[in-house]
């Protein structure tokens, strides 16, 4: 099936041993579109994202990307930002480059990206010293450096306080729009979903309730 969006998922099924997480899941995301998926904790939202990015293999169904040829350009933001403690902020962000740059160019790009998320001067900071919001913004910058055509956001702001969460959600939306990047954002917070998304779907829109075999 040829799709015209960024990703087209149909009839996807995933189970762990005896437990079926989801079955018959369908989802379509258009170019530059931000889709939010609302669902309760434990319903399988994260598993879906892990299937899309390739960390888990689906049991059945189709998962088609717009550009089937070449490397898939999918970014991922985990619930807890995964920043390597042996590297500083700049070192962590530099891992996101797809191409090799000399050190000066690399530093300039990273400084500009950090500036765009209001984190100028954080390049040499140790990652342990960052607040939750700062760490998540560093992870976001790193994910976007790979110029993904689809960014997967796995409740990345859920650990933040309400005010920070609102601010970073709006900032992320602006950033995604500015860079013409599509995104799937999973969350259990309807306000967060409506703040970031062009289209909000509930988990039951995608799939029927989970069942145990």
Partner 1 sequence: MLRTSETVARTLIVLSYITLSGLPFVYALGRLQSVTGQNPIEALVHFPHAYGAIDALQFTVLEASVSAVLTVVIGLPIAWNLGRYKWRRASVLRAIFSVPFVMPAIVVAMGFLLLIDQQSLLFALGLDLRTETGVVGSLAERAGWAHPGHFLVLVVAHAWFNLSLMIRFVEPTLARLDPAWEEQMSLLGQGRTKLGQVRHLWWPVIGPAVLCAASLSFLFSFTSFALVKWLTPFNHTLESLMASYGGSAGIHDYRVDTSEIVLSASLVQFIILLAALYLTSALQRRHSSRFALVSEHTSTTSRGPPPMKARMTVYAGLVFAISPMLAALTASFRVRQSNSSGTSYGWSMAGWNSAWSGDLSTLSIVDALTNSLLFACATLAIALPMGWLLASTIRSLEINKHPHFARALDLATLLPLAISAVMVGLGILLGVLKTMPSLFQWDYLPVVPHVILTVPFVVRVMLPAMRSVEPKWKEQAQILGLSPLRTWYHGYFSFVRGPAVVASSLTMAFSLGEFGASWLLVRAGSWDTLSVLVDTLMSRPKFDPLVQPTAMAAATVLMLLTFVLFFIAERFRPEGDGGGF
- Whole-angstrom Cα Rg for the chain: 17
Interaction between residue 99 and partner 1 (CB under 8 A): no
User: CB-wise, 68 or 71, nearer to partner 1?
Assistant: 71
Displacement of CA 66 from its chain's centroid (Å): 17
First to last CA, the chain: 30
Interaction between residue 211 and partner 1 (CB under 8 A): no
User: DSSP code of 67?
Assistant: -
Interaction between residue 82 and partner 1 (CB under 8 A): yes
Q: At CA 3, angle to CA 35 and CA 48, rounded to 5?
A: 45
The minimum distance between CB 53 and partner 1, in angstroms, equals: 6
SS3 state at 181? coil
User: CB-wise, 65 or 76, nearer to partner 1?
Assistant: 76
Q: Angle 162-178/132-145 helices, nearest 10 degrees? A: 10
Binding to partner 1 (CB under 8 A) within 143-162 occurs at: 146
Interaction between residue 84 and partner 1 (CB under 8 A): yes
Interaction between residue 109 and partner 1 (CB under 8 A): no
Query: Which residue among 86, 100, 103, 124 contacts partner 1 (CB under 8 A)?
Result: 86
Query: Which residue among 11, 24, 60, 98 contacts partner 1 (CB under 8 A)?
Result: 98
From 53-61, 119-127, 186-194, 202-210, give the range in contact with partner 1 by CB under 8 A.
53-61
Interaction between residue 71 and partner 1 (CB under 8 A): yes
For 75-136, the DSSP string reads EEE-SS----TTSBHHHHHHTT-SS---HHHHHHHHHHHHHHTT-TT-TT-BGGGS-HHHHH
Q: Which residues bind partner 1 (CB under 8 A)?
A: 53-55, 71, 74-76, 78, 82, 84, 86-87, 95-96, 98, 142, 146
């Amino acid at each position: 099936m040829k799709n015209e969006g960024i990703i087209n998922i149909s009839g996807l099924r995933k189970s762990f041993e005896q437990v079926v997480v989801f079955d018959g899941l369908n989802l379509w995301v258009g170019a530059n579109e931000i889709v939010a998926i609302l669902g309760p904790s434990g319903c399988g939202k994260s598993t879906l994202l892990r299937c899309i990015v390739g960390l888990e293999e689906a049991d059945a169904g189709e998962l088609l990307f717009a550009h089937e040829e070449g490397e898939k350009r999918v970014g991922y933001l985990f619930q807890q930002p995964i920043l390597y403690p042996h590297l500083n902020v700049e070192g962590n962000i530099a891992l996101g480059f797809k191409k090799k740059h000399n050190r000066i160019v690399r530093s300039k790009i990273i400084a500009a990206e950090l500036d765009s998320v209001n984190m100028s001067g954080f390049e040499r900071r140790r990652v342990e010293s960052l607040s939750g919001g700062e760490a998540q913004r560093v992870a976001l910058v790193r994910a976007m450096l790979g110029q993904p055509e689809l960014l997967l956001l796995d409740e990345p702001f859920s650990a933040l306080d309400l005010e920070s969460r609102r601010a970073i959600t709006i900032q992320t939306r602006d950033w995604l729009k500015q860079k013409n990047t599509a995104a799937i954002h999973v969350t259990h917070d309807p306000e967060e979903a409506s703040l970031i998304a062009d289209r909000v779907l509930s988990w039951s829109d995608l799939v029927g309730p989970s069942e145990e075999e």
